[in-house]
Amino acid sequence: MTYAGLEPVLIFTLLNVVMVLGLYVTAMSGQLSMATAAIAGVGGYASAVLTVKFGWAFLPAILMASLLSALVGVALALVTLKMRDFILKLTTLAFGEALAVLAFNWDYIGGANSFTGIGLKTTIWTCVIATSVALYVAWRFDGSRLGFAARAVRDDPIAAGAMGVSIAEVRGITFAVGGAVVGMGGAVQGHYMLVISPHELGFFISLNFIIFLLFGGLQTLWGPLFGAILLTALPEMLRFTSEYRLILYGLIITLVVLLRPNGMLTRVPTGREWRLFGYVLTPARPIAPPSAGVKPLPVAATGRPVGQAAAQ
């Protein structure tokens, strides 16, 4: 395959990575959103309108598109704050479909005829940069104070609340950060496709990202990265058996879900060693020797300085 033939595949792979990393961050607090494509659409339409109708430059348009998508993400977080399981997924789905219907009926952004005439601004390098930004944001958030608070909320919202974590704050933040990343992806994609139609906001596009995430594993950001790359590239690699392509694709996903229900990759917890095929990549932190003797409580009991309580 020549590079010219390969470039679209590369671009779509990178764009999918951006979207799935945004979904990964969104899902960190336990709410698996089914509106990823709709949030991406918000970014795409916003950037299209800003560049075409208002003459904005590409970069500020992307940043504004990101910001708007983050705000829409927060709105979704607020709507679904108290919801769980089936109702939650249904509501995120309905939220996405509502945005699609809105786009369909809003003539200013093209309505059913799509938004056309978007300027070609995106190159492979734009996608490389967008992917790097998405990776950096996801990676920094992943290991941050709020990233861990989000994981706690996902594992057990009641225990997280009892430990002082605000569920509303954490969910708002993951939806905002995830929405910003997805919106950036949508904006960049718009300037490659040059057309945005309301259909691209639909649930079936979102479902792809969910499959990438669940396939790769949602405990570590390397999971969705791996999932998006493999599952975007795999159908291309399997071209030669085009008739059976979808069946094979489905079979691989089913096998993974059955054999590794937590996804292909799992997280390495703090202090543990990183391993690849049995090789230790980074050493674990040393195990502490058991402490000897009676020590004072290492936190201030009843709000007094450490040591004072034990002295009385």
Partner 1 sequence: MLLEVTELTKRFGGLIAVNAVSFAVAEREVVSIVGPNGAGKTTLFNVITGLLRPEAGDVRFDGRSTLGVAPHRLATMGMGRTFQNIRLFAHLNALENVMIARTARTRAGVLDALLWRDRAERARTVEQAEALLDWVGVGANRFRMPSELPYGDQRRVEIARALALEPRLLILDEPTAGMVAREAHGVIDLIGRLRDGGMTLLLIEHNMNVVMAASDRIVVINFGERIAEGPPAEIRADPRVIEAYLGVEE
CB 76 within 8 A of CB 92: yes
Smallest separation (angstroms) from partner 1 to the CB of 246: 33
Smallest separation (angstroms) from partner 1 to the CB of 191: 24
Chain residues in the site for partner 1 (CB under 8 A): 136-137, 140-141, 143-149, 151-152, 154-156, 158-167, 173, 177, 219, 267, 269-272, 284-285, 287-291, 294-304, 308-310, 312
Nearer to partner 1, 143 or 250 (CB): 143
Nearer to partner 1, 70 or 196 (CB): 70
Smallest separation (angstroms) from partner 1 to the CB of 263: 12
Smallest separation (angstroms) from partner 1 to the CB of 32: 15
Nearer to partner 1, 177 or 187 (CB): 177
All residues at 6 or more sequence positions from 196 whose CB lies less than 8 Å from its CB, including other chains: 41, 44, 45, 48, 110, 114, 115, 118, 190
Nearer to partner 1, 40 or 177 (CB): 177
Q: What angle do CA 209, 210, 216 make, to 5 degrees?
A: 90
Smallest separation (angstroms) from partner 1 to the CB of 78: 15
Smallest separation (angstroms) from partner 1 to the CB of 219: 6
Residue carrying the six token digits 């694709």: 249
In angstroms, the Cα distances linking 30 to 17, 25, 155, 257, 289 are 20, 10, 8, 19, 36
CB 141 within 8 A of CB 149: no
For residue 280, give the H/E element and its range: strand 279-282
**Cβ neighbours of 312 (radius 10 Å):** 5
Nearer to partner 1, 136 or 244 (CB): 136
Measured CA to CA, the distance from residue 36 to residue 177 in angstroms comes to 13
Residue carrying the six token digits 């997924």: 89
CA 38 to chain centre: 13
Smallest separation (angstroms) from partner 1 to the CB of 153: 9
Nearer to partner 1, 242 or 302 (CB): 302
Nearer to partner 1, 206 or 219 (CB): 219
Q: Which residues pair with 279 in a beta bridge?
A: 276
